[in-house]
Structure 1
Amino acid sequence: MNNQDLHVKMCEVRTGSGRQVLRTTLGSCVGIGLLWRGRDLCGLAHCLLPESALRAPAPSAKYVTDALPSLLQLMGAAHADHAEIEAVVAGGACMVQPVRVAPYGLIGEQNARMAQRLLAEAGIRVIHADTGGTHGRQLSIDCHAQQFAVRTFERFH
Structure 2
Amino acid sequence: MNGHDLHVKMCEVRTGSGRQVLRTTLGSCVGIGLLWRGRDLCALAHCLLPESSARSTAPSAKYVTDALPSLLQLMGASRADHAQLEAVIAGGACMVQPVRPAPYGLIGEQNTQMATRLLTEAGIRVIHVDTGGTSGRQLSIDCHSQQFAVRTFERSH
TM-score w.r.t. the length of structure 1 is 0.98
Structure 1 gaps, min length 5: none
1:81 paired to 2:71: no
What does 1:57-136 correspond to in 2, within 5 Å? 57-136=57-136
Partner amino acid, structure 2, of 1:70: S
Q: Deviations over 1:105-153 (max 9, x none)?
A: 0000000000000000000000000000000000000000000000000
Runs of 4+ in 1 over 3 A off after TM superposition: none
Partner amino acid, structure 2, of 1:50: P
- Counterpart of 2:35 in 1: which secondary structure? strand
Q: Deviations over 1:65-84 (max 9, x none)?
A: 00000000000000000000
- Counterpart of 1:127 in 2: which secondary structure? strand
Partner amino acid, structure 2, of 1:71: L
Task: Report how far residue 3 of structure 1 moved.
Answer: 6.2
1:148 paired to 2:148: yes
Structure 2 gaps, min length 5: none
TM-score w.r.t. the length of structure 2 is 0.98
Q: In the alignment, which residue of structure 2 is the partner of 1:28?
A: 28
Q: In the alignment, which residue of structure 1 is the partner of 2:12?
A: 12
Partner amino acid, structure 1, of 2:121: E
- Once the two structures are aligned, what percentage of the paired residues are identical? 87
| Cα RMSD (Å) | 0.8
- Conserved 8 A contact 1:16-1:143: yes
